[in-house]
Amino acid sequence: MNTSILCSLKRGLAAFVFISAFASAAQAEPAEAPVEMLKNPTPPVQQASLPKPEHPFATMAGTWTGGGTIELTGEIKENLRCRANYNYGAANNSLALSIRCASDNYKFELTSNVVERRGQLSGTWSEAAYKVSGQISGRVQGNHIAAIASGDSFTSDLAVTTTANRMSVTMTPKATYVIAVKMAFNRAGK
């Protein structure tokens, strides 16, 4: 047999083996790994939950010290020294508070117990030095409380704003010799 024919046969046989191997590989069934991945997919990634915002009363809890002014009719204005304690009840969104203030000529001791439901504030208050008491109602929005305290002989608007370790309290009584009480507090120890 001629060597050129033999070389052609070898090349043809090699090409046939190569093409046959390639064709059988192309016709083979897909690997089992993708099917297995479809049977047991990885669990979906869950969104991270954001921390629940702290209740406004919780940010008020603790002891506060500060001062302010009491403004009376006849253009009388006196400086106040104040201390406040706030106790937050997480179970029922309640707040018990006690504020004591004194100037050279005036003193007041205010206590109150309130609860918050869906942004509405309600409760009771009393003032020991002047022996008055009554109801309080209003709204809680973020770090701000706007309320009205009323009793038999006394009505006052009340505004409280808490930001970090600072708190401002403004009382604006109606039809009394007290025009306004403004207090600024810092959280004790901060």
DSSP codes of every residue in 128-143: TTTTEEEEEEEEEETT
Give domain 62-187's CATH superfamily: Calycin beta-barrel core domain (2.40.128.20)
| pTM, full prediction | 0.69
One pLDDT digit (tens) per residue for the chain, 190 residues: 544 443 343 344 333 333 333 333 344 444 454 555 555 556 566 666 666 667 889 989 999 999 999 999 999 999 999 999 999 999 999 999 999 999 999 898 999 999 999 999 999 999 998 888 999 999 999 999 999 999 988 899 999 999 989 999 999 999 888 999 999 999 987 6
pLDDT in tens, 50-91: 666 678 899 899 999 999 999 999 999 999 999 999 999 999
Find the helix or strand (DSSP H, E) in which 12 lies: helix 3-27
Q: Where are the domains of the chain?
A: 3-39, 62-187
Measured distance CA(87)–CA(64) in Å, rounded: 12
- Measured CA to CA, the distance from residue 98 to residue 36 in angstroms comes to 67
Neighbour tally for 153: CB within 10 Å: 10
What whole-number distance in Å separates Cα of residue 152 and Cα of residue 158? 17
DSSP state of 37: H
Residues in the chain: 190
Residue 150 in contact with residue 132, Cβ under 8 Å?
no
